[in-house]
């Protein structure tokens, strides 16, 4: 692709040979001859100069003294993302239903959808136009999958799940397994029937081997544009708001509500009936106790506390050995003073 074509695609200003052929897109450390890369900070110009890249995407203005072709844009990182999409466009299987797939009577599959071998589509399920169902996917009875969705191999979508448009679910995830609910009677656990569903709104992405449980009644809800990483557990009746992010190995227990654009970092644990307001951040390894309500802010620690308070607590924790020694020294001095006073009496 010629550099002039890239400039036109990105709406950028070019300094260099417009006829230069760009053959790839790469990070600055890995870029080779013919590659285009990007630079976020002018202070890294030396790193750009030392790379083998043919062209550097820069922010707003050309960098003086940089002996390479440059492409100035408003947002270099976004431009880089668009080029990755352009150069590495994902191949899409041809529309149609494989003869090796199992399609139940009453299932509705759009003619523009692709259902690959060994997929199972249950009674009354619906698959929208442009969606791709990879081998080993199970779609249960009555579940609905919207337009342009991708379900990668061995995804399980249980009965009565509703999935919006442009949703991507990575391999091995399970949507709509029973919520974990029991009552104890006469020395044994009695299962609470989980008769609700799961609703996943448009433009959600769900990582590999993540589980999102169906509601006891009503629906577990994943809001529009939310992004959920690999190995995440979302329990029954959880509500996750628009644009929120839940990172790997985090868990959200039953009936908790995350607002819009909340970030839950890796390995955080959120107990049941928690409410987290819009725009909040829960740090890695944090523990949010049952019934907690967090106003907008950044939080860390277990039990969770405001991030600044946690930083102070951690600084004190690091000093505990010397503080303990100082306390022991004070106890010895106090004990000696008490003995001396007793002798004087």
Q: Are 26 and 37 in contact (CB under 8 A)?
A: yes
pLDDT at 201: 98
Q: In the chain, where are the structural domains located?
A: 3-87, 96-307
Catalytic-labelled residue, pool 88, 236, 273, 307: 236
What's residue 144's pLDDT?
98
pLDDT of residue 99: 96
pLDDT of residue 161: 98
The rounded distance, in Å, linking the Cα atoms of 24 and 29 is: 14
Amino acid 45: pLDDT: 85
Evaluate if pTM is beyond 0.75: yes
Indicate the CATH number for domain 3-87.
3.40.1390.10
Please give the pLDDT value at position 270.
Answer: 98
Residues of the chain short of pLDDT 70, as ranges, are none
DSSP 158-212: -TTEEE-SS-EE-TT-EEEEPP--EEEETTEEEEPP---EEEE-TT-EE-TT-EE
Instruction: Name the class of domain 96-307.
Output: mainly beta
CA 214 to mean position of chain CA atoms = 20
For residue 341, the model assigns a pLDDT of 85
User: Is-catalytic flag, 236?
Assistant: yes
């Amino acid at each position: 692709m010629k550099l002039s074509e890239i400039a036109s695609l990105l709406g950028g200003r070019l300094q260099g040979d417009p006829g230069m052929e760009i053959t790839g897109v790469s990070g600055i450390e890995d870029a080779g001859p013919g590659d285009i890369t990007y630079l976020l900070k002018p202070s890294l110009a030396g790193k750009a100069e030392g790379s083998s890249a043919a062209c550097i995407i820069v922010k707003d203005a050309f960098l003086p003294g940089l002996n390479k072709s440059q492409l100035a844009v408003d947002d270099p990182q976004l431009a880089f993302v668009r080029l990755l999409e352009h150069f590495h466009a994902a191949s899409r299987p041809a529309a149609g239903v494989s003869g090796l797939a199992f399609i139940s009577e009453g299932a509705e599959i759009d003619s523009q959808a692709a259902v690959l071998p060994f997929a199972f589509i249950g009674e009354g399920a619906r698959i929208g136009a442009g969606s791709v169902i990879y081998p080993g996917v199970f779609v249960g009875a009555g579940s609905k999958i919207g337009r342009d969705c991708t379900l990668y191999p061995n995804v399980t979508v249980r009965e009565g799940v509703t999935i919006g448009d442009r949703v991507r679910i990575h391999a091995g995830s399970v949507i709509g397994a029973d919520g974990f609910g029991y009552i104890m009677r006469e020395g044994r656990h009695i299962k609470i029937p989980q008769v609700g569903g799961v609703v996943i709104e448009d433009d959600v992405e769900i990582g590999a081997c993540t589980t999102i449980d169906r509601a006891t009644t009503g629906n577990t809800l994943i809001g529009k544009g939310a992004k959920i990483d690999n190995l995440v557990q979302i329990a029954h009746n959880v509500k996750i708001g628009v644009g929120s992010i839940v990172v790997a190995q985090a868990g959200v227990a039953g009936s908790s509500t995350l607002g819009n654009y909340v970030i839950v970092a890796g390995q955080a644990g959120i107990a049941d009936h928690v409410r987290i307001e819009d725009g909040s951040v829960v740090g890695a390894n944090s523990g949010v106790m049952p019934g907690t309500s967090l106003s907008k802010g950044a939080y860390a620690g277990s039990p969770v506390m405001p991030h600044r308070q946690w930083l102070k607590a951690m600084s004190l924790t690091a000093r505990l050995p010397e503080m303990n020694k100082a306390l022991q020294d004070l106890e010895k001095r106090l004990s000696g003073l008490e003995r001396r006073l007793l002798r004087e009496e």
